[in-house]
Amino acid sequence: MSQNKNTIDFGFAEVPLEEKVKKVKGVFDSVAGNYDIMNDVMSMGIHRVWKRKTIELSGVRPGNTVLDLAGGTGDLTKAFAKRVGKDGKVVLADINESMVRVGRDRLINEGIVGNVDYTITNAEALGFPDNTFDVATIAFGLRNVTNKDKALEELYRVLKPGGQLMVLEFSKVTQPMLAKLYDFYSFNILPKMGKFIADDEASYQYLAESIRMHPDQETLKQMMLDAGFDKAEYINMSEGIVALHRSWKF
């Protein structure tokens, strides 16, 4: 995180605060059409395992109201919609209209209708009343938020008492040798894959850089507590390549 209050990190670069949202939007406008296939290729399909674990630990049940923030193309929304049933509601929310459009079209095509709403919203100013959701998730989106502390405070606000926030995000690799291999893959292979598959090397270079700039496990845990959550913990997956952070509003 930049130490200059007027600038913020965009990958390894420093940009004015007001420009980050526009730059992140540009990245996801560029990758929206190839987002799902790139996720499968980049992670060798393991992202599905990470998301399945998140869904299993969510405790979502029929009749619940769920916020899938930075929901993108709808992987989590699809699973939650099946769990909440006809009496529940899932809101797929994202700041990027292109991603929401792809997610909406995909889920409608797969017959997920009736209990899913779609909305364009900024994580730092969620357009929902206090105490709305039983569960909120943000998967692979928090690192792109300009003011992460504000976003966590907003997520706390919109959760009901007893509600759970789940943040699934790339994190700090715990095994030194794997960390070296992961760095090599991230900066030498991943951008080339982006160029070959999506004709977009720059966006995937940003992806690698944004992962390295994201707070580590203990830092993010403390940020959740500072945002008001009463309890916070995390589970490392794939040796810390990804961590699932969970926090509760009591």
Domain chopping of the chain, boundaries: 7-174+205-248
Tell me the binding residues for S-adenosyl-L-methionine: 73, 94, 122-123
Strand extents, DSSP E, the chain: 7-10, 13-16, 65-69, 89-94, 116-120, 133-139, 159-170, 231-237, 242-248
pTM of the model: 0.91
Look-up: residue for tokens 């929401």? 100
Tell me the C-alpha to C-alpha distance, in Å, between residue 213 and each of 14, 149, 210, 244: 11, 15, 5, 17
Query: Residue 1: pLDDT band by 50, 70, 90 thresholds?
Result: very low
What CATH number should be reported for the domain whose range is 7-174+205-248? 3.40.50.150
Q: 3-61 pLDDT, tens per residue?
A: 456 888 988 888 898 888 888 878 787 777 777 777 877 788 899 999 999 999 999 99
Q: 192-202 pLDDT, tens per residue?
A: 988 887 788 88
What was the pLDDT predicted at 3?
45
Tell me the binding residues: 73, 94, 122-123
Considering only CA atoms, which of 26, 27, 24, 5 is closest in space to residue 16?
5
Do residues 156 and 170 touch, judged by C-beta distance below 8 A? no
